């Protein structure tokens, strides 16, 4: 409604500027016939309409500013989405590369005990016990012959501290003689040869 009035007032102002002499004379006659109260009312109405037009223009400016702010936010979000998509693409590329990378050939997809250093937790050594029927089909439970004893170990670890944690669990479960032993390329070696600066807490 206000916009319609503003347009009407603007049209009126333009038409007033474009009146010829005859029209001007006619409008002067009409104005003279107006009562003072009527003339005053028209003037006040005109002022009110101009004020409303000014208010609407300010409101329109505010709307334009909000639209501009929203456009900036949309552009910012679009940039963030683009960055996330790039990060996702990079992560997918890394995952695909890792999946296609050649894997080390380990026995049963486990640790290859014949390559490098590994740690096991020995749980006992006996002269007469033979548990080979249990150890032959188990990679984590092994029986080792040596010095007249059969040594039994549990677990295979690359990390010493992981083996140490497992040893502590076994001791808490009642295996008091559990301790860590080390192997290099499949051969038992003194733990001091593979660990420098680390003290075995067994």
Q: What is the 3-state secondary structure (H, E, C) of the chain?
A: CHHHHHHHHHHHHHHHHCCCHHHHHHHHHHHHHCCHHHHHHHHHHHHHHHHHHHHHHHHHHHHHHHHHHHHHHHHHHHHHHHHHHHHHHHHHHHHHHHHHCCCCCCHHHCCCCCCCEEEEEEEEEECCCCCHHHHCCCCCEEEEEECCEEEEEEEEECCHHHHHHHHHHHHHCCCCCCEEEEEECCEEECHHHHCCCCCCCC
Q: What whole-number distance in Å separates Cα of residue 200 and Cα of residue 178?
A: 12
How confident is the model at residue 101, as a pLDDT? 55
Tens of pLDDT, residues 109-130 = 478 888 899 999 998 888 887 7
Whether residue 155 is predicted with pLDDT greater than 50 in this model: the reply is yes
Share of the chain above pLDDT 70, in %: 80
Among 21-30, 38-47, 94-103, 107-116, which stretch is predicted with the lowest mean pLDDT?
Answer: 94-103
Comparison of pLDDT for 117 and 21, the residue scoring more: 117
CA distance 63 to 55: 12
Average pLDDT over residues 131-137: 72
Provide the pLDDT for residue 98: 62
**Given CA atoms 166, 172, 173, 177 in this order, what sign does their dihedral have?**
positive
Calculate mean pLDDT across residues 153-171: 92
pLDDT of residue 14: 45
Average pLDDT estimate for 182-196: 87
Is the pLDDT at 78 greater than 80? The verdict is yes
Q: What is the pTM of this model?
A: 0.42
pLDDT at 104: 45
Q: What was the pLDDT predicted at 133?
A: 73
Phi/psi of residue 189, each to 5°? -135, 155
- Residue 145 is predicted with a pLDDT of 81
For 182, what's the count of Cα atoms within 13 Å in the CB-facing half-sphere?
A: 17
């Amino acid at each position: 409604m206000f916009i319609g009035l503003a347009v009407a007032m603007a049209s009126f102002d333009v038409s007033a500027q474009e009146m010829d002499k005859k029209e001007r004379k006619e409008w002067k006659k009409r104005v003279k016939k107006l009562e003072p109260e009527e003339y005053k009312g028209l003037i006040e109405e005109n002022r009110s309409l101009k004020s409303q037009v000014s208010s609407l223009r300010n409101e329109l400016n505010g709307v334009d500013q909000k639209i501009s702010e929203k456009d900036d936010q949309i552009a910012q979000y679009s940039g963030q989405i683009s960055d996330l998509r790039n990060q996702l693409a990079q992560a997918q590329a890394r995952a695909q590369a890792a999946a296609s990378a050649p894997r080390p050939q380990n026995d049963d997809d486990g640790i290859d005990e014949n390559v490098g250093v590994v740690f096991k937790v020995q749980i006992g050594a006996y002269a007469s016990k033979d548990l080979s029927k249990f150890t032959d089909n188990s990679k984590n439970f092994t029986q080792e012959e040596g010095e007249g004893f059969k040594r039994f170990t549990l677990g295979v670890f690359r990390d010493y501290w992981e083996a140490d944690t497992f040893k502590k669990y076994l001791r808490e479960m009642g295996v008091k003689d559990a301790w860590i032993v080390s192997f290099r390329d499949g051969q038992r070696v003194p733990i001091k040869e593979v660990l420098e600066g680390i003290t075995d807490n067994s």
